[in-house]
Amino acid sequence: MPADPVAITADLIRCPSVTPAEGGALTFLEKTLKAAGFTVHRKVFHEPGAEDVENLYARIGTNGPHLTFAGHTDVVPPGEETAWTLPPFSGEVKGGELYGRGAVDMKGGIGCAVAAALDHLAGNGGKPQKDGKGSISFLITGDEESIAVNGTPKLLSWVAEMGETFDHCILGEPSNVNELGDTIKIGRRGSLNGHLIVRGRQGHVAYPHRAVNPIRGLVRLIEALQGEPLDTGSELFPPSHLEFTSVDVGNKTVNLIPGEARARFNIRFNDRHTLDGLKELLHARAKKAAGAEVNFEFMFEPSNAGVFVVKQGPFTDMVVGAISEVTGRKPDLSTSGGTSDARFIAAYCPVVEFGLVGQTMHQVDERVPVKDLTALTGIYRRILGAYFK
């Protein structure tokens, strides 16, 4: 009897794994995958100043080719629970839709991948291929919805230290825009967070000649940094974009010129830039605008969210073919949207993102049509079948 992706997803939803809590979700996956013959590892990683995070790595098979399914079981908070049609951690079906926090992002994707893998193994006598070759694994983190420090990056590093490698990865994030099968993510823009700090000299507002107001300098630099586009885009990506998200002087007194002013910003950048090159460009533009009058400094937050894109070829063609066979749609190959854990995985192997439709993710009444869970499982099954031929 085929594995039931609806039941598996519902069981995951019933685990209140609000980031970074494990909530029982990894325990459920460990039990399910061990029963199918997977070797399962649970790893907790630590980082000063960040919460500990529990992760899971499970593998069946010892040789190549090696296909891994990646994802996260942590979810965002449900918000006001009384606003939900059904309780956010009930995993109940109503009107042909499965409700619950994480139904779309992304316990549904994990549930479908697990169901597809169980079906594939059952057809091969418990092996990735009938001749015993090949490996299937699951790379599941618990902090994707948080700061992503103690999850996928460290789990990938730990797997590499064990001498294991991946050939390809499917990340089950909700990639589709309107209908299942309309979009595959083959790349993502990079993301750079930073602070622009301007230092002046504190003083009384009645005696401005005795002070240097850093707000004036900060405004000048903000205008200069946003006044000229970073680029005009590239073949696969839209133009890079800088956006200031906060300005703060920490001043609660109306008659005091502050000594320092700060602004926080984010840049989503395309493949015409690297992280280091982008930092140099910002500094050069700010220095030109500042002249000798403005004392400024950039502070950049630690980031490994660089640009990545997967080259089209046999692997992407295979995924597109499986989607078309099940849905009748030819998906767009997209690089739009924010960041995901694919940015870490791309350093280890080619990765594509394909999961459910993302319209209700992070919303009250997050839900997924049961038919989409069934269809996504069918797509993953076809990918597995084609991959291990």
- Radius of gyration in angstroms for the set of CA atoms belonging to the chain, rounded to a whole number: 24
Instruction: State how far the Cα of 137 lies from the Cα of 42, in Å rounded to an integer.
Output: 13
pLDDT at 305 over 70: no
Q: What is the pLDDT of residue 303?
A: 63
Query: Once rounded to an integer, what is the mean pLDDT over residues 344-357?
Result: 96
Q: What is the pLDDT of residue 94?
A: 98
pLDDT at 195 over 90: yes
Side-chain half-sphere of 113: how many Cα atoms within 13 Å?
31
User: What tens digit of pLDDT does each residue of 198-227 get?
Assistant: 999 999 999 999 999 999 999 999 999 999
- Find the DSSP H helices in 291-364: 314-327, 342-345
Query: pLDDT band for position 174 (50/70/90)?
Result: very high
The torsion angles phi and psi of 278, rounded to 5 degrees, stand at -70, -40
Instruction: State how far the Cα of 131 lies from the Cα of 64, in Å rounded to an integer.
Output: 12
207: helix, strand or coil: coil
Cβ-based neighbour number of residue 190 at 10 Å: 23
Side-chain half-sphere of 217: how many Cα atoms within 13 Å?
28
Cis peptide leading into residue 331 (ω within 30°): no
Q: What is the pLDDT of residue 322?
A: 98
CATH fold of the domain at 5-188+307-387 = Aminopeptidase (3.40.630)
Query: Once rounded to an integer, what is the mean pLDDT over residues 181-199?
Result: 95
The torsion angles phi and psi of 383, rounded to 5 degrees, stand at -60, -45
Query: Once rounded to an integer, what is the mean pLDDT over residues 279-295?
Result: 96
Residue from 47, 35, 193 nearest 114 by CA = 35
Angle, alpha carbons 340-344-347 (nearest 5°): 135
Average pLDDT, the chain: 95
DSSP for 142-162 reads: S-TTTT-SSSHHHHHHHHHHT
* Percentage above 70 pLDDT, the chain: 99
- Asked if 34 and 148 touch (Cβ cutoff 8 Å), the reply is no
Query: pLDDT band for position 389 (50/70/90)?
Result: confident
CATH fold of the domain at 190-300 = Alpha-Beta Plaits (3.30.70)
Query: pLDDT band for position 43 (50/70/90)?
Result: very high
Q: What is the pLDDT of residue 122?
A: 96
Q: What is the pLDDT of residue 148?
A: 82
Question: What letter would DSSP give residue 133?
Answer: -
5-188+307-387 shares its CATH topology with 190-300: no
User: What tens digit of pLDDT does each residue of 85-144 get?
Assistant: 999 999 999 999 999 999 999 999 999 999 999 999 999 999 999 888 999 999 999 999
What are the domain boundaries of the chain?
A: 5-188+307-387, 190-300
How many secondary structure helices (H) and strands (E) does the chain include? Answer: 9, 19
Instruction: State how far the Cα of 4 lies from the Cα of 154, in Å rounded to an integer.
Output: 31
- Asked if 246 and 275 touch (Cβ cutoff 8 Å), the reply is no
Q: Which residues are the active-site residues?
A: 74, 144
- Predicted model pTM: 0.86
Query: pLDDT band for position 306 (50/70/90)?
Result: confident
CA distances, 197 to each of 283, 287, 369 (Å): 12, 13, 48
For tokens 């502050």, the residue is 258
Q: What is the pLDDT of residue 304?
A: 55
Four-point Cα dihedral 151, 353, 174, 266, nearest 10: 60
pLDDT at 57 over 60: yes
Give just the sign of the alpha carbon dihedral 126, 127, 129, 135: positive
For tokens 């595959």, the residue is 184
Query: Once rounded to an integer, what is the mean pLDDT over residues 54-79?
Result: 97
Question: What letter would DSSP give residue 190?
Answer: E
pLDDT at 53 over 60: yes
Residue from 302, 347, 27 nearest 160 by CA = 347
Helix axes 107-123, 25-35, angle to 10 degrees: 10
* Percentage above 90 pLDDT, the chain: 89
Query: Once rounded to an integer, what is the mean pLDDT over residues 53-63?
Result: 96
- In this structure, what token pair is assigned to residue 238? 């839209």
